[in-house]
Amino acid sequence: MTDHQLCPKFEAAFEILGKRWTGLIIKSLLPGPRRFKDISEMIPGMSDRMLAERFKELEACGLIHRHVYPETPVRIEYELTEKGKALEPVMKEVQNWGESWVN
């Protein structure tokens, strides 16, 4: 990369992270699989419609898996893939920055 260009892989990464709520959703899934309602409750400012849209995008990017358990009633869980879990160091640095610089 020259000084006048950004790395396309960096740009692609921010195509995902630079969308409202995405970082919070990924962070919420780091501890393990969660149901729709769990994530919805962890991020009160986000509508369920938005969460459904983001889940679809994150699934399409290969960051999360959607597991459907054929129970009654059916149980659906969302889990980070390896690619999604690999964002943990990013989330950690965002947390560090927030702790140092957000008052």
Residues that bind its own copies (CB under 8 A): 3-14, 17-24, 27-28, 31, 38, 41-43, 83, 86-87, 89-102
Rounded CA-CA distance 16/54 in Å is 10
Our CB check for its own copies shows the closer of 60 and 102 to be: 102
Minimum CB distance to its own copies smaller for 72 or for 100: 100
CB closer to its own copies, 15 vs 52? 15
For the bound state, the minimum distance from the C-beta of residue 61 to its own copies, rounded and expressed in Å, comes to: 10
- State the Cα–Cα distance between residues 90 and 99, nearest whole angstrom: 14
Please report how close the Cβ of residue 76 comes to its own copies at its closest, in angstroms.
19
**Minimum distance of its own copies from residue 72's CB (angstroms):** 26
Q: Rank residues 8 and 70 by Cβ distance to its own copies and give the closer one.
A: 8
Separation of CA 22 from chain center: 5
Strand partners, 34: 78
C-alpha to C-alpha distances, 9 to 5, 12, 32, 67, nearest whole angstrom: 12, 5, 27, 29
Geometric angle at alpha carbon 18, from 65 and 28, rounded to 5°: 45
